[in-house]
Amino acid sequence: MVGYRSEEEQMDQIRHWWKEYGRSVFAGVIIALVGLFGWQQWQGYQDRQQLAASAAYQALIADLGDGNTAAAQNRAEQLRSKHADSLYAVLAAFQMAHQYLSRNDLQAAAKELRWAVDHKELPAFHTIARLRLGRVLLGANEAKAALKVAQPAPKGPFAGQFQELIGDIHVAQSDQAAAIKAYRAALAAETAGLRRGLIQAKLNDLGSAVEPAL
């Protein structure tokens, strides 16, 4: 009988605990399950969006391969409209800019690259877009706009290329002192032999002393 009463007491304790705390525990479990389901749904949606963006980008590449620039441009615009924060939208802008450059349409190329520059969700690609846009604008004789895009030069692996571009822009503006300063900064940032040689040649053209190669 003692064991039986002990079991009854335990059951009474459980019933009392459930009466006091059971509803909140149950509600917490339900909230957790709903949250988990919602997260899985969100992840599934994100995955589907990435797959759709990837498919659109691959179709754009196929269109360019077939020489159908108009169709590729439509796909690029769809990517910007529906997947603006996707890597594929930025890559599409790069592809279209390259296509327009091959046709010497600098204004159309600049438009594509400006879109990529304005979307900063992907910092590394934003830096590449700035560099390419600066070069395109310089090629279009828009030195002032190119300098605005190129400055300030970023730190890191692209520092030398940005400083070289800034030097090129100053040459176009007939500002020899500023060009020499930028080229020297580019030379200090570059370690690759070929690019260092090109920068040194530009300094030579300006009559500046050349830093010794590392």
Instruction: List, for residues 153-201, the tens digit of each pLDDT value.
Output: 999 889 999 999 999 999 999 999 999 999 999 999 986 678 888 999 9
Q: What is the largest CA-CA distance in the chain?
A: 109
Kindly report the pTM of this predicted structure. Answer: 0.74
Dihedral (CA of 4, 9, 12, 18) sign: negative
pLDDT tens across 102-157, in order? 999 999 999 999 999 988 667 778 899 999 999 999 999 999 999 999 999 999 88
Query: Position 34: which residue type?
Result: V
Q: Which two tokens stand for residue 127?
A: 């830096």
d(CA 58, CA 88): 9
- Residue tagged 């020489």 (tokens): 67
CATH of 67-149, one of 2.60.40, 2.30.170, 1.25.40, 3.40.50: 1.25.40
Domain boundaries, the chain: 67-149, 151-214
